Amino acid sequence: MRTALQWIRSILFNIVMYVSMIALALAFTPLVLVDPKWAPVWMRLFARWTRFILRWIAGLKTEVRGEVPTGAALIASKHQSFLDSILLFSVLPAPRFIMKKQLAWIPLMGWMAIKAGFIPVDRGKRGVAIKRMMADVEKGRATPGQLIIYPQGTRVAPDRHLPYKMGTAALYAQLEQDCYPVAANVGVFWPRHGIYRRPGTAVIEFLPPIPPGHTAATFMVELEGAIETASNRLIAEARAD
């Protein structure tokens, strides 16, 4: 009975979330046409609204731990589901995501993402993607913000492991900024696929920054070690509840 009720709550949450996404995007479109600065405003509003309805409809609380960077920085985040993106966007003051190129073609949403400063790359051509990514980042230096990349390149379930890609090290070397690793356990509650939302507390955690100056190899070892160790701790914490 309890599981059936949670399925109903999960379905209701998803309906409300996607209807809200479309409604907010339509409402903000005229403003974005006048000034692109409104694009990240609607995304942040949607992210915070989603956290609210996720708790009150589906019974899933969210928590952000650690020091949230406010200046220019590179964010290298664990990516388990749409929820970690929502949490990042709800707290970072000027986030810009590295996103796969196909997402730019989503009607209205893709256009909004580009206006918000997201950087699309073609993951199917690794070398070209990294060069394009670095060129686009260079063009955006005049607008300080937090550049977000998923080092594994895709959503990874809590019990799976995929290698970390060197594109993150290339950005780290070029930007010469602090890199904040971000751990997560959100996949325990909001899976990569499916609509069921498990009640509990989903967490992302900003870890101590890695300062600039490391070699690519040293940086990647430190980054992966920090994210995986902290994520495993958060996952164990979630499953112990």
DSSP string, 123-155: TTSHHHHHHHHHHHHHHGGGS--EEEE-TTSS-
Question: What are the boundaries of each domain within the chain?
Answer: 60-240
Provide the phi-psi class of 66: left if phi over 0, else alpha when psi is between -120 and 50, else beta: left
Tens of pLDDT, residues 171-194: 899 888 999 999 999 999 999 888
Tens of pLDDT, residues 26-81: 999 999 889 888 988 999 999 999 999 999 999 999 999 999 999 889 999 999 99
Is the Cβ–Cβ distance between 74 and 147 less than 8 Å?
yes
The residue type found at 149 is: I
Tens of pLDDT, residues 6-25: 999 999 999 999 999 999 98
pLDDT at 142 over 60: no
